[in-house]
Amino acid sequence: MSEQHCARIALVGRPNVGKSTLLNACVGAGLAAVSQKAQTTRQQVIGVWTEGTTQLVFVDTPGQAPGEQQTLNRLLDRNAVAALSEVDIVLWVREAGVERPADRTVAERIQQRQPGCLAIALNKVDRVRDKAKLMPELHRLQQDYKPALLYPLSGRRPQDAARLCAELVKLAPAGDWHYPEDTLTPQRGEFLAAEKIREQLFARLHQELPYRLAVTIDSMDEEPAALVVHATVWLDRASHKPIVLGRGGGNLKQVREAAEAGLTALWQRPVRCHLWLKLREGWAEDQAVIRTLGASD
């Protein structure tokens, strides 16, 4: 076999630009939680793409936002910054036609770290009707940051992600693969299950509430008919319980069913989930608790 190439690629960017969507599209699986709300991702998610002689290891990171107060947010930020120094390629995801102060913060952090190889994905181009409007933005990004790769795309289109991977292959240095060829992710099933449940809580709860929840997995058991997951949803206020449950428990049922469907698609086998609500007041402010609940750095 000819020489192997391997690149570890950090997806960075401000919250909600589509990093997790892009990771999922690149590896062709719903690994990372995606939602309309900013700061969905709390912890690094790793997705592996292997083709020919090259392996791309994508590391999804929490969106970086300036001036956040809450402990959890500070931890998220630290995780994202740490990811920058451990990779071969920094893939900075931006939103076409939208510039926010947090984009500046990300740019400064990238420049401080001076990554060996910078690639920029200009995402959500499907939202830009007049594609000619992209040209000045692409030109400006090229001038300002001189990336090794500048790629306009929609992370919602699998063919765009496939083309992006083909471009990233050209930047991958020679080196041994990190994982066996058929690896989708090195992360544990428990982690993926918790992320899928959290994703569904994000989809069905509003305002601050989803940010004040955490999910841990109590057990995962192979049973003849299905893989059975028992999970605890941690609340930090008693008043949140009826909202999470919904009328007649209907909301939590929807969360459970959608998580089951997502995990069944991911693992290609029937999955059943049981969700339990538990109260642990103040967890979102308590760094020690956050570590035990999985958002560790």
Ligand X SMILES: Nc1nc2c(ncn2[C@@H]2O[C@H](COP(=O)(O)OP(=O)(O)OP(=O)(O)O)[C@@H](O)[C@H]2O)c(=O)[nH]1
| Stretch of 18-26, 78-86, 163-171, 247-255 lying at the interface with Mg ion (CB under 5 A) | 18-26
CB of 225 to ligand X, least distance (A): 32
CB of 33 to ligand X, least distance (A): 7
219 sits in which H/E element: strand 213-222
**What residues are paired with 90 via a beta bridge?**
10, 118
**What residues are paired with 28 via a beta bridge?**
none
125-139: buried (b, 16+ CB within 10 Å) or exposed (e) per residue?
Answer: beebeeeeeeeebee
Q: Does 20 bind Mg ion (CB under 5 A)?
A: yes
**First CA to last CA distance, the chain:** 38
Nearer to Mg ion, 103 or 286 (CB): 103
Quick one: the chain helix, strand, coil %, rounded to 5? Answer: 40, 25, 35
Q: CA-to-CA distance for 197 and 28, rounded, in angstroms?
A: 19
CB of 11 to Mg ion, least distance (A): 8
Nearest to 19 by CA among 50, 62, 66: 62
Binding site for ligand X (CB under 6 A): 13, 15-21, 34-36, 38-41, 62-63, 123-124, 126-127, 154-156
Nearer to Mg ion, 198 or 212 (CB): 198
Nearer to ligand X, 16 or 55 (CB): 16
Binding mask 27-66 for Mg ion (x = CB under 5 A): -------------xx-------------------------
CB of 37 to ligand X, least distance (A): 7
Q: Which does 269 bind (CB under 5 to 8 A by kind): Mg ion, ligand X, none?
A: none
